[in-house]
Structure 1
């Protein structure tokens, strides 16, 4: 029996969800909900939706829809809690875009609601279903990098700019989730510093499509410290002319690089060490070639024995997300990769980073 789905949100990501659920043999799109009538008409035209598919402006218009089993939420982050809570209270399974909620208490409440109504709460952390992340996790688990030294990531672009969350909440969750998965641990200390660009600078670029509300950090630097001493550094920015989607883990025997901007060769393993004077390479020195640090310092002696482009399964990560969600609904069992409770841990980290940002970068302990 097919699972009846209502997709909430007909924007960029909602369209991708609609496409995947329409193509999946185990799901049936019964409704698309969006307050923007033009967006609904565009979706209807793009997918030539069957006349039976309901186009609605509000979730309340489809709550009693016969055959509806689950909702997929791809709306602004500030609406996730209310929509997910409403759906769970109506005993629907829920797939929700990241972040699950904008504060820890609301995230926990959603998980408890799912348990109470015995429904699945699945958070769309798409990168955790990326073949490169799967392969990278196996590389690290097999100790091919040797002793892990440090990691760093850049996630920047010029737009889109969000109006309900800052760059930290919009972007950081992806890299934190990947680091946690690859390291199989969560940070015990975090810190964040950031910059809110002057409103005059932002509005001067409004012709390019940017309309940032004042008070939200556009540029954020994150430091994560893990129980074994591993540190990860993340650069996040909405107003960067150079779009970057790159994450690197450096070990004593090699370096693993996941660069999403190289779609043909996204995962590279460099075998060899980066050593100077018997000491491990400093993060800031290694960061120079990637534009992370600004001052010039001497480069370490580097020995690269090989540079291997790793083969990956050719599958769309979101297709795997939708397939896993449908399987969780069919079996009514949680997904260990992307459950609501797993997302609570990420929100705990983001909340602490927000607090550190408010305190000017003060390091905060999580446990």
Structure 2
């Protein structure tokens, strides 16, 4: 039996969700909701939707739709909490784009509501379903990198600039989720510093999370994460950077792993080589007086990956969670709460000029 889906939001990401649910054998798109009628007409034309699919600007018109089992939310971050809460209260399973909510208390409330209603709350952390992230995790678990030293990430582009969240809340969750997955840890200390650039056009819209005018939201943010084993990750975030980057690197004593989404031919590279004299890795890690490091790169391997769209895997996993009514460990509401807890601590650090804080 197919799962009836209503997609809220027909923008860039909503269109991708519609496409995947239309193509999946276990789902049926019953409705698409978007306040912009032009977006609805564009969706109808793009997918040649039949008359049975309801296209509406009003979410309330489909809340009692016969056969509706689940709601997929791809709307601005400031609307996630309200829409997800309404859907759960109506007894629907929910797939929602990141972040789950803009306040930790709201995220926790949504988890509690999902548990009370015995419905699945699934957050679309798409990168955790990327074949490169899966392959990299296996490499790290097999200790092919040696002792992990540090990591860094760049997530930048030139627009869109959000008006409801800053660059931290818009971008950082992807890299934090990936580092947490690869390390199988969560940071014990975080810090963030940021810069606000002059906007060409001021806006009166305010961020729901901070109640700040949009022109005062940080456009450039530097994030530092420190993990229990001493591993540190530095993340560069900016939405006013002409150089679009989607790159994560983990450096180990024996090799370096590079995930570069902007290099479709070589998205995952394992660069063998050590900055420690061969045979002395143990001493370097544990001796108070380490030998002088010497750089040595011996090989560069382009790793093969399964050819599958990450969002297709997200939709498939969500539908499976609905069918079995069991949560997904990596994308459940509870898992997302931990990420929002980290983001909240980073926001506080940002307000305090980069003061290191514990997220827990």
Answer yes or no: same fold by TM over 0.5.
yes
What residue number does 1:222 align with? Answer: 223
The unaligned stretches of length 5 or more in structure 2 are 203-212, 285-292
Q: Partners of 1:18 and 1:34 in 2: how far apart?
A: 12
Which position in structure 2 is the counterpart of 1:195? 195
Secondary structure of the structure 2 residue equivalent to 1:214 = helix
Q: What does residue 53 of structure 1 align with?
A: 53
Deviations 1:22-77, CA, capped at 9 Å, x for gaps: 00000000000001000000000000001000011121110010000000000000
Equivalent-residue separation in structure 2 for 1:157 and 1:35 (angstroms):
27
- Mapping for residues 1-367 of structure 1, pairs under 5 Å: 1-199=1-199, 202-203=200-201, 213-275=214-276, 301-367=294-360
* Aligned-pair CA distance for 1:275: 4.5
SS of 2:160's equivalent in the other structure is coil
SS at match of 1:157: strand
Q: CA deviation at 1:366?
A: 2.4
Deviations 1:259-303 (A, max 9, x none): 000112100000111259x998xxxxxxxxxxxxxxxxxxx8421
1:305 Cα deviation (Å)?
Answer: 1.1
In 1, distance between residues paired with 2:248 and 2:294? Answer: 22
Q: Is the 8 A contact 2:344 2:359 kept in 1?
A: no
Report what 1:294 is aligned to: none
TM-score by length of structure 1 reads 0.90
Distance of 1:339 and 1:110 partners within structure 2: 11
Q: Deviations over 1:200-237 (max 9, x none)?
A: xx439xxxxxxx93111000000000000000000000
Structure 2 contact 78–101 (Cα < 8 Å) conserved: yes
CA distance in 1 between counterparts of 2:38 and 2:346 reads 37
Structure 2: how far apart are the matches of 1:363 and 1:130?
31
**Hey, what does 2:210 align to over in structure 1?**
none
Deviations 1:124-182 (A, max 9, x none): 00000000000000000000000000000000000111110000000000000000000
Deviation at 1:313, TM superposition (A): 0.2
Considering only aligned residues, what root-mean-square deviation do their CA atoms show, in Å? 1.5
Q: Alignment partner of 1:311: what SS?
A: coil
Secondary structure of 1:365's counterpart equals coil
SS at match of 1:160: coil
Q: Unpaired runs of 5+ in structure 1?
A: 205-211, 281-299
- Is the 2:124–2:314 contact (alpha carbons within 8 Å) kept by the matching residues of 1? yes
Q: What is the TM-score with the length of structure 2 in the denominator?
A: 0.92
* Distance (Å, rounded) in 2 between the aligned partners of 1:123 and 1:274: 39
**Which runs of structure 1 show a deviation greater than 4 angstroms over 4 or more consecutive aligned residues?**
none
